[in-house]
Amino acid sequence: MSLPIKDILSHLHINDINHAFSTGSNWGSSPNAFVKDVTSPTDGKKIATVKFATADEYNSVVVTAQKAFKTWRQVPAPKRGEIIRQIGESLRENKKQLGTLVSYEMGKSLQEGYGEVQEMIDICDFAVGLSRQLYGLTMHSERPEHRMYEQYHPLGIVGVISAFNFPVAVWSWNAMLAWVCGDVCIWKPSEKTPLTAIACQHIAQEVFKRNNVDEGVSCLVIGDREIGELMSSDTRVPLVSATGSTRMGKAVSAAVGARLGKSLLELGGNNAIIITENADLDMSLIGAVFGAVGTAGQRCTSTRRLIIHQSVYDAFKEKLVNAYKQIKIGDPLDENNHMGPLIDQDAVALYLDSIEKCKAEGGNFVVEGGKLEGDAYASGCYVKPCIAEVENHFKIVQHETFAPILYLIKYSDLDEAIDLQNGVPQGLSSAIMTNNLREAETFLSYAGSDCGIANVNIGTSGAEIGGAFGGEKETGGGRESGSDAWKVYMRRQTNTINYSKTLPLAQGIKFDL
């Protein structure tokens, strides 16, 4: 471990947590709150204790956020950007400690923990520039001496429901853009990874307090599914951004849609890499292996399927098998290890069940999986990454398993490969490995990948914040992070100004009195 965990917790203001919610520097909880121990999948040890918020406490947070919105929206956007710049600087100062805590609490490798904090820093930088670029449009009116334009206004409260696999980065994608747009945020982190959320809330609220920003711009509510359900049904929360499983996303979408609210959904992925006969196999190997075992296969962009041309299938399979023999599994805080644990023992059970289902359908495992035993794996959350030869139509292949199980599928021509790639319910990330321009452009064309992300000669995992992130079909259709994703956090308004001395009507309609 790069730093003693007790020192990290103290540095980030985390020991035993006696508060279930925060509206900035104001923290609180009910005396009868449900108490939960937070343990690390790395070693199974208790890190700290947290409390869950009640429905009444959630309601008080919303009331405080509503009040804060009325003043925050009046702060000029460039000044909001300056405050976010300071949050980015604070994240830089705390990168080592926060990145280590991400790794220890969630189980991803230390380098990935640092990388997640870097994503937060990057989106802060993006938001600072965006604060001077919240553009509308002007257009010509058909009526003389009239001017038309459109502008964007903040929505109000943005509810953020985040998942355990990226416990802080996805929150920052939402919060930094929402804040620079003039919104306020209420964050419900995963109950599996609340400590990193508490740390981020401390970092943000210290900056807001230093800038005399009202309590309630940044709010945190610790809780389980009940809090997410309250938020989804709450008409005071115009936008709910939810990251998680497709099952969860459908529930959120139904609740938000029933009240005609807005939802931004980032849900499951079943991502494939097509490896053509024209691919650089050594480069393809790097993308495939990192995509499959990075974060122990618990990224929404993790590579689940390799669709390999029949002419290179055996050669590439041999490369994969040899590469998997070199994967080092263990304590994610040891930078020599490639892969850490799954998030908890429930995830291990789902992994083992998926292997059995794959075998039952006829899957042939060329690299066997299984749970790892021994003192080094005492938490019970460590598993072996495995590889199976399958058919794309297998039920288990159509399902997203959040674990390091990689499926190999053979194809004969590119049209078939694209059909296989698209032939799953999910549509998040996709990639093709080829040195053939025609194959690459076909994959990126209207006849190619149906995913929100389509890459050439890189893997499915590892998006940059400059591009909008999200997917289609059962992935939910949402877009977060870069490009013009900021527009989802605002309401669009069309304005017409008449500076003439008459009142002509559109479409030449006459209405004389």
Catalytic residues, by residue number, are 266
Task: Report the alpha-carbon distance of residue 414 to residue 438 in Å, rounded.
Answer: 10
From 366, 428, 360, select the one nearest 395 (Cα to Cα): 360
Task: Report the alpha-carbon distance of residue 432 to residue 284 in Å, rounded.
Answer: 9
Burial of 260 (0-12, 13-18, 19+ CB in 10 A): exposed
Please give the single-letter amino acid code of residue 466.
G
Phi, psi for 383 (deg, rounded to 5): -135, 170
Phi, psi for 316 (deg, rounded to 5): -75, -35
Contacts of 40 (CB under 8 A, 6+ apart): 47, 104, 105, 107, 379
DSSP strand pairing (184-188 vs 27-28)? unpaired
Note whether 456 and 432 are within 8 A (CB). Answer: yes
What b/e string do you get for 38-76 counting C-beta neighbours within 10 Å, with b at 16 or more? bbbbbbeeebbebbbbbeebbeebbebbeebbeebbebe
Task: Report the alpha-carbon distance of residue 5 to residue 18 in Å, rounded.
Answer: 19
Per-residue DSSP letter, 339: B
CA dihedral (234, 236, 241, 243) positive or negative = negative
Phi, psi for 415 (deg, rounded to 5): -60, -40
What b/e string do you get for 458-475 counting C-beta neighbours within 10 Å, with b at 16 or more? ebbbebebeebbbbbbbb
CA distances in angstroms from 16 to 103, 166, 181, listed in the order given: 19, 23, 35
Task: Report the alpha-carbon distance of residue 274 to residue 310 in Å, rounded.
Answer: 12
